Structure 1
């Protein structure tokens, strides 16, 4: 028995020494997982893969993108919130998971503030409102008039909170009646819009740009306050729908309790990546506007502000929590 006890104590000592050595190893000492709460091919996925590749080059370790779509970004957020806060599991979050979901769901299983460590805001991704060619509208004004004349006859796709809140805000402000149809992913929603199964969709430029500029769809408005150079001639929705104000942002988080030194290292490396012209040019191809936070603390304040802003948007749109 004494021999077994001595062996066990020795094993514990070796384990402790191993853990201590790992803790003292300069970060990062292993591959990093970057969780994306949307499907491959989505705008957020494209941004994550671009940044992940560049970040890997600077850190000297692979950055592996892990797509965990489902439940309007809740599945990915829950996974990261429960991960070890060692800097090896990161989250490519958006306003869906960290601004809108708290007001959309009454029983959210994560807290966007308490359960995460803000690392860096990276920018914003414009969305555009498109319709199937079967809809007899060549402008947003004509779409609103058509919807008023045919209440409940049109349907729109909603694979994320931006699409949902954008359309529900438009409906509330203009008084039109269009049916929302939930989708699991942006590519699936886009496929059904092109196929005519739904007639309206507010889609991110990252996953929808090729179709938005084709003759398979008609693009009527962008969610940004200024027109997009990628969609010449397409006006901002706010010019037609007075009071419409919606920004879709992207940022990187880790689980709550990350070491400050790791957070500062990641923030600094992301700042350097986002400052590269090659990165900016590649992201610009999907309409993504680089807009980094100056510090992790500044990003934390922005997240809190957007949480309150989106709560107001959702309440104004008349959306009740599920």
Structure 2
């Protein structure tokens, strides 16, 4: 199982959680191999070119499967046709956060403040999901903020904490302690439902932005032309594993909402996600590079 991010990452943690029950069910070891780099494109390219025998899988995220196809003029693979979708694995808990100095405790208050003060708020991004989430927020809300990009989420969160940055979409895992300390304020989650970690924090839809639809997710894929019986077997085993209380408990510890799908549902979902990213980029006048 190839993971497009380094050991210790949230995606790596998901892979290791599901590898164990898959190993048990399949009667052979499922080894997690990390191939980080290029926003997941290196790992995805390797799997796309692998022998379609079911022995090489990709635990991909929206980065290689939606960001790369949308943000690059010439992607190194076709996210739709070069892979056999197996099942969703889960959604990452992402939140819209603000520094306590921002006079906004709700999404509406943040939008109103940003409209009165165009360009005054700085927003940080440490990954492609953060970039796309904020672009869509600004497009749908009709606001302007100043982009400050970072190489990773931890560095970006540090500057939110010290007040250099006022706004950021960030994960629970990098902000949990700071939220409890009151050093950063969550005002909405980008998930479709409220999370168990912050049940009082509304979704973007509940907060008034019903068209917001950028999601951060992980899913399992095989190379295209993998025999359907192998795909269906892997789907059955992953769906069964996701129902186990011990697996759901592990997911909760890494702030991931478990989710599964049929192969066809995942294929349609990926197409929809690419469409979401491309439309958001076009609306924000951002051209592929």
TM-score, length of structure 1 as denominator length: 0.78
Are 1:291 and 2:242 an aligned pair? no
3-state SS of paired residue (2:102): coil
Comparing 94-103 and 38-47, the one that deviates more = 38-47
Contact 2:214 2:276 in 1 (8 A): no
Are 1:311 and 2:278 an aligned pair? yes
With over 3 angstroms needed to count, the CA separation of the structure-2 counterparts of 1:183 and 1:266, relative to structure 1, is farther
Please name the residue that 1:271 is paired with.
Answer: 239
Given candidates 189, 193, 204, the residue that maps to 1:226 is 193
Q: What does 1:138-149 correspond to in 2, within 5 Å? A: 138-149=105-116
3-state SS of paired residue (2:119): coil
Distance 2:6 2:123 in 1: 19
Shift in Å at residue 273 of structure 1? 0.9
Are 1:253 and 2:218 an aligned pair? no
Q: Deviations over 1:252-276 (max 9, x none)?
A: 0122232334323322221221121
Comparing 103-112 and 250-259, the one that deviates more = 250-259
Please name the residue that 1:10 is paired with.
Answer: none
Q: Deviations over 1:72-126 (max 9, x none)?
A: 3223322322333333322111222223332222121111012212122223223
Q: What does 1:48-59 correspond to in 2, within 5 Å? A: 48-59=15-26
Given candidates 96, 101, 104, the residue that maps to 1:129 is 96
Q: Deviations over 1:157-204 (max 9, x none)?
A: 323332111101111122322223333433443344334453322123
Please name the residue that 2:49 is paired with.
Answer: 82
Distance 2:36 2:159 in 1: 18
Comparing 204-213 and 221-230, the one that deviates more = 204-213
Q: Deviations over 1:30-56 (max 9, x none)?
A: xxxx22223444433332221123323
Distance 2:161 2:12 in 1: 21
Are 1:183 and 2:150 an aligned pair? yes
With over 3 angstroms needed to count, the CA separation of the structure-2 counterparts of 1:214 and 1:37, relative to structure 1, is farther
Contact 1:37 1:70 in 2 (8 A): yes
3-state SS of paired residue (2:39): coil
Contact 1:39 1:69 in 2 (8 A): yes
Contact 1:69 1:185 in 2 (8 A): no
Contact 2:213 2:276 in 1 (8 A): no
Larger Rg: 1
With over 3 angstroms needed to count, the CA separation of the structure-2 counterparts of 1:126 and 1:82, relative to structure 1, is same
Structure 1 gaps, min length 5: 1-33
> Over aligned residue pairs, what C-alpha RMSD do you find?
2.6
Q: Deviations over 1:251-306 (max 9, x none)?
A: 10122232334323322221221121211232134443322113x23332332333
Distance 1:218 1:286 in 2: 20
Please name the residue that 1:103 is paired with.
Answer: 70
TM-score, length of structure 2 as denominator length: 0.85
Q: Deviations over 1:10-30 (max 9, x none)?
A: xxxxxxxxxxxxxxxxxxxxx
Distance 1:118 1:58 in 2: 19
3-state SS of paired residue (2:57): strand
Q: State the aligned residue count.
A: 288
Contact 2:135 2:280 in 1 (8 A): no
